[in-house]
Amino acid sequence: MTVSRTASPTVLALDSAAGACSAALWRQGRLAGHRYRAMARGHAEALLPMVIETMAAAGAGFDELDLIAATVGPGAFTGLRIGLATARGLALATGVPALGVTTFAAVAEAVPPAERTGRTLLVLLDTKRSDLFAQRFDAELEALGAPAVLSVDALEDWIPDGPVIVAGDGVALARPVLSGLATRCAADIAYATAGDLPDAAHVARIAARLFASGTSRGTSGETPGGLPAVPLYLRAPAVTAPRDAGR
């Protein structure tokens, strides 16, 4: 499939990577529909009804879509599979491409420009294993290097020079180390007022921007910029298959 680019695509975005579930429709350069619910479990039952409610609230049909986007991770193993399976199923049914957006990028997008200006943005995600997924961005949301898995104690070595703003649901775990660093070294560390959890609204905005900028090959035909719609785990899941199929 060859994608015809448009400066104002219609994008359906999904997120179920962490402690929330959401769907969003981006159309004519703005958010036209949105559903969001904080939830620790139950994403499988909640996501598709949210998609239907979002499309109905916007008065949009699936035949209007140019793109479907979903968070690819890192995040909860089950939640990621639910979101990506739904996105890829809808892409197959509608004949439009599926795009992946990282959880880091979705959280970074939520931080207001006024808070990012003049600062390095550090996104910290709680792995639920007493450590952190981390990635740095500049004030224009360009990634500064690859993401990493860090122990809380190693975080100090990851703080860049100069003013920093921190976002993500890993902030609570990291705050004691960050507060100690700010006191000891007079480091300029601020905390974002938004972006604790990824939200499909921000996934949609990123995807629309990438769609307008060009195309690259992905898992579902021509995929605009960004990543293919496959999971980004950063490390192996905690549950592994038994040896010899359990025999």
Query: Is 151 buried (19+), middle (13-18) or exposed (0-12) by CB count in 10 A?
Result: exposed
Q: What is the pLDDT of residues 93-119, one digit of tens each?
A: 999 999 999 999 999 999 999 999 999
- Given a contact cutoff of 8 angstroms between Cβ atoms, the answer to whether 198 and 71 are in contact is yes
Domains, the chain: 11-103+198-223 (3.30.420.40), 112-191 (3.30.420.40)
Q: How confident is the model at residue 182 (pLDDT cuts 50, 70, 90)?
A: confident
pLDDT-derived band at 187 (thresholds 50, 70, 90) equals confident
107 vs 186: CA distance, rounded Å? 26
Could you give the CA distance from residue 104 to residue 38 in angstroms, rounded to a whole number? Answer: 18
pLDDT number for residue 217: 38
Give pLDDT, residue 5. 52
Please compute the mean of the pLDDT values over residues 181-191 and round it to a whole number: 88
- Structure confidence by residue, pLDDT tens digits, 32-83: 999 999 999 999 999 999 999 999 999 999 999 999 999 999 999 999 999 9
Rounded Cα distance, 90 and 67, in Å: 10
**What is the end-to-end Cα distance of the chain in Å, rounded?**
44
236 pLDDT above the threshold of 50: yes
Instruction: Give the residue with greater pLDDT, 239 vs 37.
Output: 37
Any residues with CB less than 8 A from the CB of 194 and at least 6 apart, and which?
Answer: 110, 111, 112, 167
**CB atoms closer than 10 angstroms to residue 121:** 28
Q: Which of 122, 118, 116, 177 is nearest to 145 (CA)?
A: 122
Instruction: Specify the higher pLDDT residue, 57 or 235.
Output: 57
The phi, psi pair for 27, rounded to 5°, reads: -150, 135
Query: Averaging pLDDT over each range in 99-108, 208-217, 230-239, which range is the top one?
Result: 99-108
2 has pLDDT over 60:
no
Q: How does 156-181 read in b/e, with b if 16+ C-beta sit within 10 Å?
A: beebeeeebbbbbbbbebbeebbeeb
Q: Which two three-digit tokens encode residue 174?
A: 């990291």
pTM score, two decimals? 0.89
